[in-house]
Amino acid sequence: MAGACLIGRITVKNADKWAEYRSKVPATLAPWGAELLFRGTQSASYAGDDRHQDIVVIRFPDQASIDGWHGSAAYQALLPIRAQAADVVLIAYQN
């Protein structure tokens, strides 16, 4: 898998706000060539503890695309909703 991935570790605080945020994110990803690879809820822990129960993995063509998406006006407009909806850690990885 070439490119870069963005990993989001998530603890939902407000389910309704989270649903609103999630419904709006895909439109912000499309211009950057991003693809949602996985979204799920933790089912078991085999080593260590993670305070976040949910995860999302999004593949981008490269790190510049992640930077562009994250800084875009379209995504930045969603940050107030995200702050109300969940505690989120976003980490980018390149390969």
| Cα separation, 39 vs 75, whole angstroms | 19
Tens digits of per-residue pLDDT, 41-76? 999 999 998 899 999 999 999 999 999 999 999 999
| Cα separation, 21 vs 18, whole angstroms | 5
Task: For the domain made up of 4-42+51-94, give the CATH fold.
Answer: Alpha-Beta Plaits (3.30.70)
58 or 1, which is more confident: 58
- Domain ranges in the chain are 4-42+51-94
Residue 46 forms beta bridges with which residues? none
Assign 14 a pLDDT band (cuts: 50, 70, 90): very high
Yes or no: say if 73 and 28 are a contact pair by the CB < 8 Å rule. Answer: no
For the entire predicted model, the pTM comes to 0.91
Would the pLDDT of 1 be above 90?
no
Assign 95 a pLDDT band (cuts: 50, 70, 90): confident
